[in-house]
Structure 1
Amino acid sequence: MATPVLETRDLTIRFGGHVAVDTVSCAFHAGTLTAIVGPNGAGKTTYFNLVSGQLSATSGIVLLGGADITGLGAAGRTKRGIGRAFQITNLFPNLSVVENVRLAVQAKARGASGLFSRWSSHADWIDKAEFYLAEVNLGGVRDTLAAALPHGDKRKLEVAIMMALEPDVFMFDEPTAGMSVDEVPVILDLIHKLKARGDKTILLVEHKMDVVRSLADRIVVLHNGRLVADGEPAEVIASPVVQEAYLGQAPKRAAEASHG
């Protein structure tokens, strides 16, 4: 099998005596969407923070394309191709919607330019920013300050910014959290489109099991910081360990259910 785009080996973080993520080893390949699920406090977002560089691991390593990136911070990992959408939006609130995306387009263009390359013009960056805004249905509010957007539109703007960085790995931490029923399909359609391209690696933390079922090729389950299940969605959802850890079903009942 080809080298994983992203891999963690024995990834661990301790906060005092508490082990929040405990020796998690997992590999992710291009063209796949993996949902990471588990009960509250299972370590899902902490694992995301370790992968994207917001937190430094106590032990273990993170590999991107086979290269060890454990020593890089969040900015370094973004430059290498890891894109992260946060559970709580992470925007420039006092800049307009289009300027938020334009900065991401510009950062990507400069990062890709060699010493003798021609840089794109400011107008080109704006054109590209407007393309990504159209993708998330925000073209009509291009000149609005990011701070003035409703929560759902802030989430969509954050996705547009991540798309503008053109990462190899897309990480979505509860992308539909706080959105109205009408807003959710826009984000889910975007994730479907990214998945359909077949060349991106997508990780998704999501509590809504209907969303997980509709999107995921694979489910990874964390419980008390440990990886307790990993496989195809139907198989994982039906497993006794998931019935107990994620759905709150007693082990005995889960075992009986698995035998019909």
Structure 2
Amino acid sequence: MTSEHPILETRDLTIRFGGHVAVDHVSCTFQRGTLTAIVGPNGAGKTTYFNLISGQLKATSGQVFLNGADITRIPVPERTDRGIGRAFQLTNLFPSLTVRENVRLVAQAKAGKGFDMVSVAESHVELIERAEHVLAEVRLIDVADQVVAVLPHGDQRKLEVAMMIALGPQVLMFDEPTAGMSVDEVPVILDLIKTLKQDMDRTILLVEHKMDVIRSLADRIIVLHNGALVADGEPAEVIAMPIVQEAYLGKAPEAA
């Protein structure tokens, strides 16, 4: 860890559903320019932790901080405005519009102009330029004029990322980005995340089950088990821990 003020922090973050503690006093900081993988078995609390950070769920106790400001009680739209973006949670594409129009609508909303298609006139040069820049970054510029409904699944996933980037987030959250993807499509998304990671102003959080994906992307791994944070460190260090080897990789730890 560096001495830099964390861009994102959770302090004793907890949520209970009846008598079940789904996330149990998780305290963790995330620095700018890093990619942290969040791992653990099914039911460990990974997605619930994501939901608490992005605002889909309200914490029973504890706090979430973004750039030092307490955002625990503010709603999802305001968290988005402040810089938290989440992909692969829901598909929020406009299938009858083109790729460019999808991204331009998000850029328009970010600019405070709403989602009125009539007002997205050609005179909004800055919105068009913003959409073009984002599409180039996610390598969709060649299909910018295609209707979304005819795009391959992998390109639709990339478009989801483009729409998130158009909102200008500081924190990018990916919840199992390769889930449901074909073998051929997975490298496309991984390459995209690697490209996004090169921007040191961005902080990336990634929930993923595939260890090969985690090894190729993560600067750091945190492990949740029964809602609690049980490990936190560099990938090689965490993957070698007996608790990870036994509980999460399904094998006994290798002999020294």
By the TM > 0.5 criterion, same fold? yes
Distance in 2, Cα, partners of 1:43 & 1:77: 21
How much has 1:3 moved relative to structure 2? 1.3
> Following TM superposition, where does structure 1 have runs of at least 4 consecutive aligned residues deviating by more than 4 angstroms?
none
Q: Can you list the C-alpha shifts for 1:211-260, whole angstroms capped at 9, x where unaligned?
A: 111111100011111111100100100001111221133xxx43xx3x51
C-alpha contact (below 8 Å) 2:47/2:207 kept by paired residues: yes
**Aligned partner (choices 126, 129, 132) of residue 130 of structure 1:** 132
Residue identity in the other structure for 1:20: A
- In structure 1, what is the equivalent of residue 109 of structure 2? 107
C-alpha contact (below 8 Å) 1:152/1:178 kept by paired residues: no
Distance in 2, Cα, partners of 1:241 & 1:24: 18
Distance in 1, Cα, partners of 2:95 & 2:56: 20
Alignment of structure 1 residues 237-248 onto 2, 5 Å: 237-248=239-250
- In structure 1, what is the equivalent of residue 81 of structure 2? 79
Q: Which moved more, 1:121-130 or 1:157-166?
A: 121-130
Partner of 1:227: helix, strand, or coil?
A: strand
Matched residue count: 246
Q: Can you list the C-alpha shifts for 1:51-96, whole angstroms capped at 9, x where unaligned?
A: 0111111111000011100011111100000111124423334443
Q: Which moved more, 1:138-147 or 1:240-249?
A: 138-147
Partner of 1:110: helix, strand, or coil?
A: coil
- In structure 1, what is the equivalent of residue 69 of structure 2? 67
Alignment of structure 1 residues 13-52 onto 2, 5 Å: 13-52=15-54
Distance in 1, Cα, partners of 2:228 & 2:15: 11
Partner of 1:7: helix, strand, or coil?
A: strand
- In structure 2, what is the equivalent of residue 185 of structure 1? 187
How much has 1:208 moved relative to structure 2? 1.2
- In structure 2, what is the equivalent of residue 116 of structure 1? none
How much has 1:148 moved relative to structure 2? 4.3
Q: Which moved more, 1:37-46 or 1:233-242?
A: 37-46
Residue identity in the other structure for 2:186: V
- In structure 2, what is the equivalent of residue 216 of structure 1? 218
- In structure 1, what is the equivalent of residue 100 of structure 2? 98
- In structure 1, what is the equivalent of residue 207 of structure 2? 205
- In structure 2, what is the equivalent of residue 196 of structure 1? 198
Could you list the runs of 5+ residues in structure 2 that have no partner in the other structure? Answer: 114-121
Distance in 2, Cα, partners of 1:90 & 1:23: 32
Distance in 2, Cα, partners of 1:83 & 1:130: 19
| Cα RMSD, aligned residues only | 2.0
- In structure 2, what is the equivalent of residue 56 of structure 1? 58
**Aligned partner (choices 167, 170, 185) of residue 169 of structure 2:** 167
Distance in 2, Cα, partners of 1:9 & 1:90: 31
